[in-house]
Amino acid sequence: MARAIDWTAEQDDTLKAMWKLGSDTIEIAEATGRKKNAVIGRAHRLGLGQHLTFIKKETKRRERREKPKLIVMRHRVVPPIEEPTPLVIDSIGVPFMSIKDSQCHSVIGSGDDGLAQYCGNPVKEGSWCCGPHYRRYYYKPMRYR
């Protein structure tokens, strides 16, 4: 990494004088042979304070005119909340090792041997479960209902 060239006393004096006059940082940079950011950094390290161009002058602001507010009333109809119906299963259950791809794979309990018992009803097309389980596991978002 290249080492920065030290500032000379002459460059520091030029910087201080032009800074107090409120000269633009680009003009000071050209006069000292430095970059604009180097001038700002050096002024900060010398403690020269805020540059005159950065001090905000009090200007009279125009008063803002309030825009008329547009109020839109929407009457939204909220459908009543349906109570979930209990799921009635017409199957006695299919043991774990006997389940087929054409049967519902929803677990409904465990058998005498401790293994899972599956619903076993015919599956809904393109799914792994029957119609009642499909309605129980999947829901449609509100905007598609």
Lowest-confidence pick of 15-24, 36-45, 100-109, 129-138: 129-138
Q: Please state, for a pLDDT cut of 90, what percent of the chain lies above it.
A: 7
- Report residue 28: phi and psi, to 5°: -65, -40
Report the alpha-carbon distance of residue 96 to residue 113 in Å, rounded: 10
Query: How far apart, in Å, do the first and last CA atoms of the chain sit?
Result: 65
The 8-class DSSP code of residue 79 comes to P
Among residues 27, 71, 86, which one has the least CA distance to residue 52? 27
- 117: exposed, middle or buried (Cβ count in 10 Å: 0-12, 13-18, 19+): buried
Report the alpha-carbon distance of residue 121 to residue 113 in Å, rounded: 21
The H or E element spanning position 94 is strand 94-95
Lowest-confidence pick of 42-46, 74-78, 113-117: 74-78
Residue whose structure tokens are 């030029």:
14
Judged against a pLDDT cut of 50, whether residue 1 lies above it is answered with no
Residue whose structure tokens are 């200007």:
59
pLDDT in tens, 82-100: 776 666 667 778 887 888 8
Per-residue confidence band for 53, with pLDDT thresholds at 50, 70 and 90: low
| Contacts with 93 (C-beta within 8 Å, 6 or more apart), sequence order | 108, 109, 111, 117, 118, 119, 120
